[in-house]
Amino acid sequence: MEELKTNVVNEKRVQALAMDFLTVSQQAAIAAYPWIGKGKKNEADGAGTEAMRNQLNLIDMSGLIVIGEGELDEAPMLYIDEEVGTGRGPQIDIAVDPIDGTSAIAKGLDNSIAVLAASVKGSLLHAPDMYMKKIAVGPKAKGCIDIDAPLIENMKAVANTLGKSLQELTVMIQERPRHNHLIKQVFDAGASVRLFTDGDVTGSIATAIEEMDVDILVGTGGAPEGVIAATALKSLGGDFQGKLAPQNQEEFDRCMKMGLSEPEKALTIDEIVKSDDCFFVATGITDNMLMKGIRKKENGLTLTHSFLTVGGSVSKYQSIETYY
C-alpha cells in the first residue's frame, strides 16, 4: 500500500511539471527565432536544443530522454538516454524534438515548433531515432483504426464512425514521394487530401480538434514525433497507432538492443504511452495549424504562442500566449 501511495504522489508531481516544461518549449522557440529564413537549419536546431537542455536542467526532476535525436555522439542534440533535471523530484520519461521543422525555419516557411512530451518513468516508448509508420484520429474515431489494414479500410471505418461519406473525409498527409501511393488512394476514394510540408506532430493533433476539419493523418515520419504526437492524442482522447520502420540491419539491431524484440510490431497508443499521467507542450516558432510563431513587439517584448495538454485534465487543452 505504501508503494502505491508513493507512485500516486509521483504521478501527480509529474503532471505538476507541465508549466515548467512550457517554459522549456518557449525558451527553445525564442532561441531558434533569429535563424528563421537564414538557410542554416543546423544552427537553428543547435540554438533551440541548447536552450531546451539548459532549461530542462533547472527543473526539479530526474528526467530521462527515452526517444529523441540519437546517441551521445550526436551532441549538441538532446540524445537518447541523456539524463536531465536537477536529480531531485519525480522520475519521468521525456520524448523530445527540440525543433520540429528545421528545414521550414531555414527557408522561412510555416510549420516549425519546439516540442516535448513527458510521462511517468517507464511509460513512454524507448526506441531509436528512426522512421515510424503512423495513423492518427480524433476522439470520435477512437478504436476504429488498424495500421495493418489498407488505407481505404481505415477510411471506411472512420467515415462510418463519424457518420460521414468517404467523399466528406479529409486525410492529412505529408507531401513526400514516399506518400504518393497514399495520396492516390485518397483521391481514388473521392476524399479530400490536405498536404503539408513539415512537422507531422501538429497534423496528428489536428485530428482531435473539430475546428481543424481533419479526420485522419497517415504517413511515415520520425519516431520521436510519433511518440510525442501519441502523448498529445492520449491527453486529448484521440487515437494513434505506430509501427517502427527500420531502414537497414543496423537500425533493426538498435531496436533489438533497446529491448524491442519485435521492432516492426504494430503499436497501439496504450503501448506507446502506457500512462494517462502524461503531458504535451509545444511553442510555435513559425506559424502553424495550432499556434502563431514568435512575434517581436514594438515595446521590445517577445510574444510566444504555445499549446499545452495534460492527461486526465478537465480542459482538453490550453492555448497560451506569453510575453518575454
Q: Which residues are annotated as a binding site?
A: 45, 69, 97, 100-102, 131, 176-178, 198-200, 222, 225
DSSP characters over 253-274: HHHHHTT-SSTT--EEHHHHB-
Q: Residues annotated as binding site for substrate? A: 100-102, 131, 176-178, 198-200, 222
- E-strand stretches of 101-152: 113-120, 131-137
CA dist., res. 171 & res. 130, Å (int): 24
Radius of gyration of the chain (CA): 19
DSSP characters over 64-87: EEEESS--GGGTTS--TT-EES-S
Please name the helix (run of DSSP H) or strand (run of DSSP E) that holds residue 219, with its range, or none: strand 216-222
Contact yes or no for 155/173 (Cβ under 8 A): no
Q: How many CB atoms lie within 10 A of CB 167?
A: 10
Contact yes or no for 134/219 (Cβ under 8 A): yes
Please name the helix (run of DSSP H) or strand (run of DSSP E) that holds residue 195, with its range, or none: strand 192-196
Contact yes or no for 245/132 (Cβ under 8 A): yes
Q: Residues annotated as binding site for Mn(2+)? A: 45, 69, 97, 100, 225
Most distant pair of Cα atoms in the chain: their distance: 58
Count of H helices and E strands in the chain?
A: 10, 14
Beta bridge partners of 211: none
140: which DSSP letter?
Answer: G
